[in-house]
Amino acid sequence: MPRHPDTQRRIAAVLSDGKPRSFRELTAQTGLNSKQVEGALYRLWIRGDVLRTEKPIYEAVKAFKGRAGIKKNTRAYHLYIYAAGKDSLSFQGLQFIACENSEKPAETKAELVRRFFEDNSSQAFYSIEVLEALKDRGIKQRDVMNTMRRAERKGLVYVRGYRTHDQQTPFKEGYLITWIDPNKPREQALEEAIQRTEKTLAQNASTSPIIQRVHVIRDMVIEATKLRDLASFEFIQNKLGCTEYEVEGALRRTMQLYPDLRELKLFKAYRYYYHVSLPEEDLKAAIAMKENYVRISKGRMNRVGHNWEACVEWFIDKFTTGAVFKTQSHRRNRMDPRRITLHLIRGVSGRKYNAEVDRVWEVTPGVFAQPITYILECKWGLVRKENVDDFFEVLRWSKEFGVDTTDGRRVKQGIVAVFAGSAFNPKESVRLKDETEISFASYAARMNIQLLKASDFNEKLRERGVPNTVTVQKTCRIAKDEKEVREVLEEIWKNSDKGDNILAKAAEKNKEVYELEKMLEKA
Q: 299-316: per-residue pLDDT in tens?
A: 677 788 888 999 999 999
Torsion sign (Cα): 446, 450, 452, 457: positive
pLDDT at residue 267 in the model: 66
Q: What is the mean pLDDT of residues 122-133?
A: 89
Angle, helices 482-494 vs 300-319, to 10°: value is: 50
Q: Is the pLDDT score of 104 beyond 60?
A: no
Do residues 357 and 375 touch, judged by C-beta distance below 8 A?
Answer: yes
State how beta strands 415-424 and 372-383 pair. Answer: parallel
The number of beta carbons lying within 10 Å of the beta carbon of residue 220 is 17
Question: Tens digits of per-residue pLDDT, 257-299?
Answer: 788 899 998 866 688 999 999 999 999 999 888 877 776 666 6
Kindly report the average pLDDT of the chain as a whole number.
84
Q: Is the pLDDT score of 151 beyond 80?
A: yes
Short-list 200, 152, 199, CA closest to 173? 200
**Calpha distance 64→202 (Å, rounded):** 69
The number of beta carbons lying within 10 Å of the beta carbon of residue 262 is 16
Task: List, in order of start, the domains of the chain with CATH numbers.
Answer: 6-97 (1.10.10.10), 109-203 (1.10.10.10), 209-298 (1.10.10), 301-516 (3.40.1350)
Q: What is the CA angle 125-127-133, rounded to 5? A: 75
Choice between 64 and 471, residue whose per-residue pLDDT is larger = 471
Residue count of the chain, please give it.
523
Q: For the chain, give the percent of residues with pLDDT over 90.
A: 24
Q: What is the mean pLDDT of residues 210-232?
A: 87
Do residues 99 and 72 touch, judged by C-beta distance below 8 A?
Answer: no
pLDDT classification of 353: cutoffs 50, 70, 90: confident
State how beta strands 270-275 and 261-266 pair. Answer: antiparallel
Cβ contacts of 364 within 8 Å, gap of 6 or more: 322, 370, 371, 372
Percentages (nearest 5) of helix, strand, coil residues in the chain: 45, 25, 30
**Calpha distance 25→158 (Å, rounded):** 38
**Calpha distance 223→465 (Å, rounded):** 58
pLDDT at residue 163 in the model: 64
Q: Is the pLDDT score of 520 beyond 70?
A: no
Amino acid at 336: D
Amino acid at 176: L
pLDDT classification of 105: cutoffs 50, 70, 90: low
